[in-house]
Amino acid sequence: MITGASSGIGATFARKLANDYDLLLVARRKDKLDQIAAELRAAYNTNIEVCVADLSNPAEVAELAERISGETDLGLLVNNAGFGTKGRFWEATLASQEQMHQLHIMATVCLTHAALANMVPRNQGAIINVASVAGFVRGPGSVSYCATKSWMNIFSEGLYVELAGMGSRVTVQTLCPGFTYSEFHDVLAVDRERVAGKSLWMTADFVVDASLKGLRTGQLYVIPGWRYRLLTSLISKLPSSLRLAVEAARSRDRVMQKEQ
Ligand SMILES: NC(=O)c1ccc[n+]([C@@H]2O[C@H](COP(=O)([O-])OP(=O)(O)OC[C@H]3O[C@@H](n4cnc5c(N)ncnc54)[C@H](OP(=O)(O)O)[C@@H]3O)[C@@H](O)[C@H]2O)c1
């Protein structure tokens, strides 16, 4: 099952997995899901099912969780659906912040719980949580985004420890992409070059290939691209007082840029 399969990284997972798995594709836009499902059915001899659900709605998440609990051969859950917001925490609407926490955190909790209760007794299967490089920083203007993606990393680490401790063959991966071409920044209506220049952007193909390579070796953290691996490893080594001072200065610079 792949959440957020109607575009970007999720749709790319679907295209790369369709040869090996029957797929359940989840998102809100039925037309997009149907289009991808038709394309994959025509290309592969695979059963592709579409499920329209708003995963920021707990009742719809619960229905999906029940669905995957009953799957006899559940092989993989990709918790990928996500979105960003703009503006300082208190300037963005509370509804958008709540929706993000529901989607990134509660949907991941609920679906992962159902998937692992299914996979662990069979001693097979894998979870990929699509977090972000943003989970390593406290980005001004993306407080809830960074916090929820950071939570995804810690949550995945906890599961990894539990599963490894019991010698389970079920694996967990936290995929941490940096800037990736998808609809994500179109939804935010931001200028890609202004956000991150040219050299930091990756294709969804590159990101998903790195994830699937990591899946084969049971790698917990997959951070596609050497620049992002270097960045996250440097950030992780900074004392938190220094890291926070740098991030606060960045925040001040951004405000001054906007005011100029
Ligand atoms: N692009 C980047 O630079 C980047 C970097 C790091 C991490 N990520 C993460 O990668 C993941 C995929 O994003 P993307 O880059 O592929 O962006 P995208 O093209 O905008 O895809 C986001 C997907 O999430 C789905 N979605 C959003 N809200 C949903 C909801 N309430 N219920 C169900 N589905 C929902 C969207 O489908 P519908 O609109 O049809 O529901 C869409 O399929 C996200 O978790 C994002 O945080 C992206």
DSSP codes, 19-64: TTS-EEEEES-HHHHHHHHHHHHHHSS--EEEEE--TTSHHHHHHH
DSSP at 136 = G
d(C-alpha 98, C-alpha 116), whole Å: 26
Question: Cβ(188) to ligand 1 under 6 A?
Answer: no
Q: Please tell me the distance between residue 233's alpha carbon and the centre of ligand 1 in angstroms.
A: 25
pLDDT, tens digit only, all 260 positions of the chain: 999 999 999 999 999 999 999 999 999 999 999 999 999 999 998 999 999 999 999 999 999 999 999 999 999 999 999 999 988 999 999 999 999 999 999 999 999 999 999 999 999 999 999 999 999 998 888 999 999 999 999 999 999 999 999 999 999 999 999 999 999 888 888 878 777 777 889 999 999 999 999 999 999 999 999 999 999 999 999 999 998 898 888 777 665 554 44
Q: Give the residue, out of 182, 194, 202, 206, with the most ligand 1 atoms within 8 A of its beta carbon, to mutate for a pocket test.
A: 182
d(C-alpha 108, C-alpha 3), whole Å: 10
Contact 54, 28 (CB under 8 A): yes
Q: Give the residue, out of 51, 80, 149, with the most ligand 1 atoms within 8 A of its beta carbon, to mutate for a pocket test.
A: 80
Q: Please tell me the distance between residue 80's alpha carbon and the centre of ligand 1 in angstroms.
A: 6
> 154: part of which helix (H) or strand (E)?
helix 143-165
